[in-house]
A and B are shown apart, each in its own frame.
Chain A
Amino acid sequence: MAMAGSEIKSEIKPPLWLLAELTYRCPLQCPYCSNPLEIAKYKDELSTEDWVRVMQQARKMGAAQLGFSGGEPLVRQDLEELIQEARRLGFYTNLITSSVGMDEARIKRFKDAGLDHIQISFQASNEELNNYLGGTKSFEHKKEMARIVKEYEYPMVLNIVIHRKNIDQIRDILDMTVELNADYVELASTQYYGWSRINVDQLLPTRAQLANAEKVAMEYQERLKGKSRIIYVVPDYFETRPKPCMNGWGAIFLTIAPDGTALPCHEAGQLPIEFPNVRDHSIDHIWNDSEGFNHFRGFDWMKEPCRSCPEKTKDFGGCRCQAFMMTGDPANADPVCDKSPYHQDLVDDVNRIEKMATSGKPEEQPILFRNMKNSKELMEKTPAEV
Chain B
Amino acid sequence: MTETIDKNAIPEIAPTFRFQWEEAQDCYVVLYPEGMVKLSTSAGEILQRVNGHNSIQAIVDMLREAFPGADLEDDVIKFLEVAYGNGWIRNKK
Using CB atoms and an 8 Å cutoff, list the residues of chain A in contact with chain B: 14, 16, 61-62, 64-65, 67, 90, 92, 94, 116-117, 119, 153-155, 157, 183-184
- Closest Cβ of chain A: how far from B80's Cβ, in Å? 17
The CA-CA distance from A203 to B33 in the complex, in Å, is 28
- Contact residues in A for B23 (Cβ distance below 8 Å): 62
Q: A153-B15, A153-B16, A154-B16 are in contact. Are A64 and B22 (CB under 8 A)?
A: yes
The CA-CA distance from A14 to B26 in the complex, in Å, is 13
- Contact residues in A for B36 (Cβ distance below 8 Å): 16, 64-65, 92
Residue of B nearest to A63 (CB): B24
- Contact residues in B for A64 (Cβ distance below 8 Å): 22, 24-25, 29, 31, 36
Given A65-B31, A155-B32, 7 further pairs, Cβ under 8 A: A64-B22, A64-B31, A67-B34, A92-B36, A116-B31, A155-B33, A157-B34
A-B contact pairs, 11 of them (CB 8 A): A16-B36, A61-B24, A64-B31, A65-B31, A67-B34, A92-B36, A116-B18, A116-B33, A154-B16, A157-B33, A157-B34
Using CB atoms and an 8 Å cutoff, list the residues of chain B in contact with chain A: 15-18, 20, 22-25, 29, 31-36
B24 engages A92 (CB within 8 Å): no
- Contact residues in B for A16 (Cβ distance below 8 Å): 36
The CA-CA distance from A184 to B35 in the complex, in Å, is 12
The CA-CA distance from A94 to B22 in the complex, in Å, is 18
- Contact residues in A for B33 (Cβ distance below 8 Å): 94, 116-117, 119, 155, 157, 183-184
B25 engages A92 (CB within 8 Å): no
Question: Sorted from nearest, which 7 A-B pairs have the closest CB atoms?
Answer: A62-B24, A155-B16, A92-B31, A117-B33, A153-B15, A157-B33, A155-B33
A94 engages B25 (CB within 8 Å): no
B22 engages A62 (CB within 8 Å): yes
The CA-CA distance from A62 to B16 in the complex, in Å, is 22
- Closest Cβ of chain A: how far from B43's Cβ, in Å? 17
A94 engages B16 (CB within 8 Å): no
| Residue of B22, B24, B25, B33 with most chain A CB atoms under a 10 A cut-off | B33
B18 engages A92 (CB within 8 Å): yes
